[in-house]
Amino acid sequence: MTTAAGTRLACRAVVNAAGVHADELNNLVSAYKLRIVPRRGEYLLYDTDQGAAFSHTVFQAPSRAGKGVLVTPTVHGNLLVGPNAVEQGSKEDVSTSAEGLAFVLEAARRTWPEAGTRGVIANFAGLRASCAEGDFVIGQPDDAPGFFNVACFDSPGLTSAPAVATS
């Protein structure tokens, strides 16, 4: 491999775990093309005076778009609600939107009727690396031995990581 600065690197294996950019790296070496469509998830974080409202993470029934909006205490004693699931073109834009946060609050009220803007100290978003074709893509493409994809690692990628790492 040659870097943009002209440095040549030799290695026995490459692991492609580049998040929303994993499709671009795969597509440099393999004819089996991937396409990641980022799916934004927005959250609201409440101050610690709200943290005692829940002692456990509470999920709702999942939908095709994901596991739905949850309400959870954090390890620091805050309360966290979210996320929604909105497909977008940009792989860089992690801004939140008024509509997205309003959707999260409305959905959260099914679990926590008091959910509102009082006590909110931060909001933020993350991008799930969703594959246009569906599931996680794990392993070597047939035409690129030594190149291991851990790509399209959408939710629940974090929970799946120990199983993927030992498989």
Ligand X SMILES: Cc1cc2nc3c(=O)[nH]c(=O)nc-3n(C[C@H](O)[C@H](O)[C@H](O)COP(=O)(O)OP(=O)(O)OC[C@H]3O[C@@H](n4cnc5c(N)ncnc54)[C@H](O)[C@@H]3O)c2cc1C
One residue of 11, 158, 163, 165 binding ligand X per CB under 6 A: 158
Q: Which of 126, 138, 140, 164 binds ligand X (CB under 6 A)?
A: 126
Considering only residues 48, 72, 140, 155, which one is a binding residue for ligand X as defined by CB under 6 A? 155
What is the three-class DSSP state of 25?
helix
Residues 6+ apart with CB under 8 A from 82: 41, 42, 43, 44, 69, 70, 104, 108
Rounded to whole angstroms, the Cα distance separating 139 from 148 reads 5
Grouping H, G, I as helix, E, B as strand and the rest as coil, residue 103 is helix
Nearer to ligand X, 112 or 153 (CB): 153
Q: Phi/psi at 160 (nearest 5 deg)?
A: -80, -15
Distance of closest approach, residue 59 Cβ to ligand X, in angstroms: 9
Among 46, 112, 147, 153, binds ligand X (CB under 6 A): 153
- Least spacing, CB of residue 97 vs ligand X, in Å: 14
Per-residue burial over 52-69, b if 16 or more Cβ lie within 10 Å, else e, is eebeeeeeeeeeeebebb
Binding mask 66-95 for ligand X (x = CB under 6 A): -----------------x------------
* x/- track of binding to ligand X for residues 34-53 (CB under 6 A): -------x------------
Contacts with ligand X, residue ranges (CB under 6 A) = 17-19, 21, 41, 83, 126-128, 150, 153, 155-159
